[in-house]
Amino acid sequence: MPHYTPPMRDLQFVLHEVLDVVGELKACPAHAELDADTVNAVLEEGGKFAAEVAFPLNASGDAEGCTLDKSTHEVRAPKGFKEAYRAYVEGGWPALSCDPAYGGQGLPFVVNSAFYEMLNSANQAWTMYPGLSHGAYECLHAHGTEEQKRLYLPRLTSGEWTGTMCLTEPHCGTDLGLLRTKAEPQPDGTYKLTGQKIFISAGEHDLAANIVHLVLARLPDAPAGTKGISLFVVPKFKVNPDGSLGERNAIYCGGLEHKMGIHGNATCQMILDGAVGTLVGQPNKGLQAMFVMMNAARLGVGNQSVGLTEVAFQNALAYARERLQMRSLSGPKAKDKPADPIIVHPDVRRMLLTAKAYAEGGRALLSYCALLLDKELHHPDEQVRQDSAELLALLTPIAKAFLTDNGFIAVNECLQVFGGHGYIREWGMEQFVRDARINMIYEGTNTIQALDLLGRKVLANQGATLKKFGKLVQQLIEEEGVNERMSEFINPLAQLAEQMTKFTTEIGFKALQNPDEAGAAAVPYLRVAGHLVFGYFFARMAAEALKAIAAGSTDPFYRGKLQTARFYFARLFPETATLMRQARSGVAALLDTDEALGVDAR
Ligand SMILES: Cc1cc2nc3c(=O)[nH]c(=O)nc-3n(C[C@H](O)[C@H](O)[C@H](O)COP(=O)(O)OP(=O)(O)OC[C@H]3O[C@@H](n4cnc5c(N)ncnc54)[C@H](O)[C@@H]3O)c2cc1C
């Protein structure tokens, strides 16, 4: 059976030593009183919850899955999920970073993000029930009417109710402009929604008293495409004006998907048969409102993969220390044993370090993104709020796609460390691989994230936001470039930073002449950008480790951090050269292929 220990030391390193979240948030009135001890105490307790309550249900939830009672349309989550959710609510965890005006504890998102990484390590399928609620909470908080906020936010904050996002329909996933669910206005100001949604995570379950669905649908006179989409809040049980539960609404689960992983999470086909809802935000502007939830969910999905990478790494490391096979090429290391532990073999270390580097780089990036969100929402300086929002918009597709691609690479490497035993269920590794695969698909596939990054976040503003990130990189290069011991980290970073401008301009120029060029370059482009971001954070982490060592620390943690950064720059970062060649190779090799594919695709 697998095991999991919350990575408290590394979380504290990232939050306090690298990012100085307490110092960074001092200027925000909402977080001025925050101190490191509080952050650490919350995360210690959160780690205990993840390891002791959520983790023991991971394998059993996977084996059992969810069950639908077709006569009542009720879904039962796996054994123990409901009790774990009750403990989560009783512990006050849903309220951690919610607004005190609605009963929240008002802690910054950066703390919640760290807590969620541990939950995702422990049990991704279970964590999706409360995780989606948080996105629904944020969307209603940003775009709901006062009445909607009054009715829904306190109960989403307490965890009494959970939330979902209902976008996908059988014929429309990526292209939401095709969606058909209808919303008919009623004389009382409500709407009746009719249609079918599929693949709705946590669409129906027995964990909470009510489920708050955020549903995209079309008004009768809506223009075609994405400009005609509106957002509605549709509760499973209607809500009376005093906030109590009313009668059952006409939205129900018509079937459960049988899927590759996250078996413990109910992926539901949802039928809306005249379900009553209220409009969120402006008519036909639903997609903009939903983006609050989608952006939160994109960071959340990146977080899922970092969580899985960490837990898979911990298990692979323990196995590699114990498993005896063959002798080291340079002579026996464990002479008293019949063979050496496989951790002596260079390639086993490569697999382990790949996972370690992807977990640690991802942790730094996600914490930074969450800190940007806190500043965007709470910083008193308008310019800081705007800069934070722009940087976060740039980094969100990277956090979603780069971290989930890395996550899948990493959990596969960790499975490989186990050899054939990794493929066998009892070690738990094959579940991590199955669970990690969905993260590259939902919340906008990774291809769509790449198109978003290159098209909307970079080229649409002539690389202005990318330059903002470039300035941070430049500042680090100037500060640390004088330190000889940093040169192994700073030099490759500086080289990529310099190449990035020309690379982006070149792709942008080609895309102007032929937009398909952007489609051909986007995926490798995002990976290059991901490495620029990881390179920046690994250099920052290495600088902190060197400072601690120079100040006399003998903590092996810092030497380990330097070794991980060294591995990252030596073995993972250099793929940027290949990726840039791929991105530059142009569209012809992809689209002039009708004969190769035997179709006339255009
Ligand atoms: C387990 C699970 C849980 C989910 N949870 C939810 C949920 O809670 N709520 C919800 O609304 N949805 C949910 N989804 C749906 C998910 O978000 C969609 O599956 C996803 O957005 C892709 O849509 P699709 O499956 O229709 O694929 P399609 O849109 O049909 O895409 C097929 C392929 O074409 C590619 N493609 C499409 N357009 C382009 C383009 N312009 N350029 C390049 N490539 C393109 C895609 O990248 C993909 O590889 C879930 C899905 C699963 C499997």
- Of all atoms in ligand 1, which is nearest to the CA of residue 261? 1
List the structure tokens of 42.
């919350």
Nearest CA to ligand 1 atom 40: 448
pLDDT for the residue numbered 292: 85
pLDDT for the residue numbered 599: 85
Q: How far is the CA of 298 from the centre of ligand 1 (A)?
A: 13
Backbone phi and psi for residue 191, each to the nearest 5 degrees, phi listed first = -130, 150
Contact 342, 417 (CB under 8 A): yes
Count of CB atoms within 10 A of residue 74's CB?
Answer: 14
DSSP 101: G
- Of all atoms in ligand 1, which is nearest to the CA of residue 448? 47
Q: Whole-angstrom Cα distance, residue 308 to residue 197?
A: 28
Q: How far is the CA of 186 from the centre of ligand 1 (A)?
A: 32
Whether the CA torsion 366, 372, 373, 378 is positive or negative: it is: positive
Q: From the CB of 441, is ligand 1 less than 6 Å away?
A: yes
Q: Where does residue 201 rank: exposed (0-12), middle (13-18), buried (19+ CB within 10 A)?
A: buried
List the structure tokens of 331.
């002579």
Q: Whole-angstrom Cα distance, residue 535 to residue 149?
A: 41
Topology of the domain covering 290-449: Butyryl-CoA Dehydrogenase, subunit A; domain 3 (1.20.140)
Q: From the CB of 445, is ligand 1 less than 6 Å away?
A: yes
pLDDT per position as a tens digit, 312-338: 999 999 999 999 999 999 999 999 999
Q: From the CB of 168, is ligand 1 less than 6 Å away?
A: yes
Q: How far is the CA of 179 from the centre of ligand 1 (A)?
A: 13
Identify which of 35, 49, 68 has the alpha carbon closest to the alpha carbon of residue 6.
49
Residue 466 has pLDDT above 90, yes or no: yes
Report the length, in residues, of the chain: 602
Question: Residue 173's pLDDT band (boundaries 50, 70, 90)?
Answer: very high
> Which residue reads 């959520």 in tokens?
54
Q: From the CB of 267, is ligand 1 less than 6 Å away?
A: yes
Q: From the CB of 591, is ligand 1 less than 6 Å away?
A: no
Question: Residue 293's pLDDT band (boundaries 50, 70, 90)?
Answer: confident
Q: From the CB of 196, is ligand 1 less than 6 Å away?
A: no
Nearest CA to ligand 1 atom 23: 173
**Secondary structure, 3-state, 193-251:** EEEEEEEEECCCCCCCCEEEEEEEEECCCCCCHHHHEEEEEEECEEECCCCCEEEECCE
pLDDT per position as a tens digit, 370-417: 999 999 999 999 999 999 999 999 999 999 999 999 999 999 999 999
Q: From the CB of 166, is ligand 1 less than 6 Å away?
A: yes
pLDDT for the residue numbered 291: 87
Contact 137, 163 (CB under 8 A): yes
Active site residue 443: yes
Question: Residue 258's pLDDT band (boundaries 50, 70, 90)?
Answer: very high
Identify which of 132, 96, 109, 114 has the alpha carbon closest to the alpha carbon of residue 378.
109
pLDDT per position as a tens digit, 433-444: 999 999 999 999
> Which residue reads 């740039």 in tokens?
394
- Of all atoms in ligand 1, which is nearest to the CA of residue 165? 9
Q: Collapse the DSSP code of 424 into the 3-class scheme (helix H, G, I; strand E, B; otherwise coil) and give the result.
A: coil
Identify which of 351, 504, 359, 330 has the alpha carbon closest to the alpha carbon of residue 11.
359
Contact 112, 34 (CB under 8 A): no
List the structure tokens of 383.
């310019």
Q: How far is the CA of 104 from the centre of ligand 1 (A)?
A: 33
Which residues neighbour 144 within 8 Å (Cβ) at sequence distance 6 or greater? 152, 153, 233, 280
Sequence spans of domains, the chain:
290-449, 455-591
Report percent pLDDT > 70 for the chain: 100
- Out of 75, 167, 199, 268, mutate this one to test ligand 1's pocket (max ligand atoms within 8 Å of CB): namely 199
Residue 345 has pLDDT above 60, yes or no: yes
DSSP 313: H
Q: From the CB of 522, is ligand 1 less than 6 Å away?
A: no
Which residues neighbour 350 within 8 Å (Cβ) at sequence distance 6 or greater? 571
pLDDT per position as a tens digit, 296-312: 999 999 999 999 999 99
pLDDT for the residue numbered 80: 98
Contact 510, 586 (CB under 8 A): yes
Mean pLDDT (the chain, rounded):
97
Nearest CA to ligand 1 atom 22: 173
Alpha helices in 418-486 (DSSP H): 420-423, 429-437, 446-451, 464-480
Residue 602 has pLDDT above 60, yes or no: no
Q: How far is the CA of 101 from the centre of ligand 1 (A)?
A: 36
Q: Whole-angstrom Cα distance, residue 97 to residue 113?
A: 9
pLDDT per position as a tens digit, 237-247: 999 999 999 99
Which residue type is seen at 233? V
pLDDT for the residue numbered 130: 96
Q: How far is the CA of 552 from the centre of ligand 1 (A)?
A: 51
Q: How far is the CA of 540 from the centre of ligand 1 (A)?
A: 35
pLDDT for the residue numbered 601: 52
List the structure tokens of 418.
């186990």
**Secondary structure, 3-state, 384-409:** HHHHHHHHHHHHHHHHHHHHHHHHHH
Bridging pattern class, strands 230-235 and 210-217: antiparallel
Contact 535, 569 (CB under 8 A): yes
- Of all atoms in ligand 1, which is nearest to the CA of residue 265? 1
Q: Which of 360, 443, 480, 544 is catalytic?
A: 443
